[in-house]
Amino acid sequence: MHIPDGYLGPTTFIIMYLIMIPIWIYAGYWVQKSLRSRQIPYLALGAAFSFVIMMFNVPVPGGSSGHAVGSALVGIILGPWTAVVTTSCALLIQCLIFGDGGITAFGANCFNMGTVIPFVGYYTYKLIAGNSEITSKLRIAAAAIGGYLGLAVAAGIAGFEMGIQPILEHTATGTPLYMPYGLNVTVPAMLIDHMGFFCWVELIVTGLGFAYIAKNSPEVIFNYKPPSSKTIEEQKEVGSS
């Protein structure tokens, strides 16, 4: 889903940067307001995990390939605004050092992978989990489904951004200047590859990652409210034994 330079025309990539600027600013503000200094190592780890997870390419029939992103998990654990920061860090380095994702398309990539995935993931998780206990199967399933849906919606949006190029940017005779395939190709292609394959990897990563942290260190989860002080003491005893 890392759109390279040349697939989006200036209209689209400038709009995507303009959308991302306030999102980056607010994400910084939210992190400052909401996170505590002891959560900074988790923020750094979340960014590093996202980077590595994206290196696990999965082949799909037809010769294409792709990967999970991991930003739904960061969104659920440290909050979707934190995931904007961690995923944007990973995408920036992928773009500058590894040539994965374009410089002009950086805003679009940060929107698709760094914003849509964590927000869709987090709100899906929140909606399904409701008031269930932190380690309940329902909550773990909610996180997993959040990961699946987050990546699926982001893939559809990335497909849309690419697919509108032949309409927006073409020569006087109608020849596309950037992505030559239209919406009828890009959206189904992105959705089929992702919903059929990569979203399942995102589902497993998000479900397992959440289950582990919820069981062992629920206090890391940004909006976790301990049921009672006694329960925390018990959890600490269990955790350190």
Partner 1 sequence: MKTLKPMDKTLKILIYALIVFVICVPVGLIASGTAFGEWGPDELNQSVGYIPAGFASLNGLWNAPLVGYDLPGNHQTIPTQTPGYYVSAIVGVFVVGGIAYVIGKAIVKRND
User: Considering the rule CB under 8 A, would residue 71 count as an interface residue with partner 1?
Assistant: no
DSSP 105: T
Helix 80-98 and helix 10-34: axis angle, to 10°?
Answer: 130
Phi, psi at residue 65, to the nearest 5°?
A: -150, 170
31 by DSSP, 3-state: which? helix
Q: Which of 19, 58, 183, 211 binds partner 1 (CB under 8 A)?
A: 58
What is the footprint of partner 1 within residues 192-221 (CB under 8 A)? Answer: 193, 213, 216-217, 219-220
Q: Which of 42, 111, 148, 210 binds partner 1 (CB under 8 A)?
A: 42
Considering the complex, state which of residue 55 and residue 127 has its C-beta at the smaller distance from partner 1. Answer: 55
Partners of 65 in the beta sheet? 59
204 burial level (CB within 10 Å; 0-12, 13-18, 19+): middle
Q: Which of 25, 98, 137, 167 binds partner 1 (CB under 8 A)?
A: 98
Q: Which of 94, 112, 124, 206 binds partner 1 (CB under 8 A)?
A: 94
Q: Which of 16, 20, 23, 31 binds partner 1 (CB under 8 A)?
A: 31
Number of residues forming the site for partner 1 (CB under 8 A): 83
Q: Which of 173, 184, 228, 240 binds partner 1 (CB under 8 A)?
A: 240
Note whether 30 and 118 are within 8 A (CB): no
Q: Which stretch binds partner 1 (CB under 8 A): 87-95, 116-124, 135-143, 146-154?
A: 87-95
Q: Which of 21, 55, 138, 167 binds partner 1 (CB under 8 A)?
A: 55
What is the footprint of partner 1 within residues 127-156 (CB under 8 A)? Answer: none
Considering the complex, state which of residue 32 and residue 228 has its C-beta at the smaller distance from partner 1. Answer: 32
5 by DSSP, 3-state: which? coil
Considering the complex, state which of residue 92 and residue 128 has its C-beta at the smaller distance from partner 1. Answer: 92
Q: Minimal distance in Å, beta carbon 79 to partner 1?
A: 12
Note whether 2 and 109 are within 8 A (CB): yes
Which of 48, 32, 85, 42 has the alpha carbon at shortest distance from 220? 42
Note whether 90 and 49 are within 8 A (CB): no
Query: Could you tell me the sign of the dihedral formed by the alpha carbons of 16, 18, 24, 29, in that order?
Result: negative
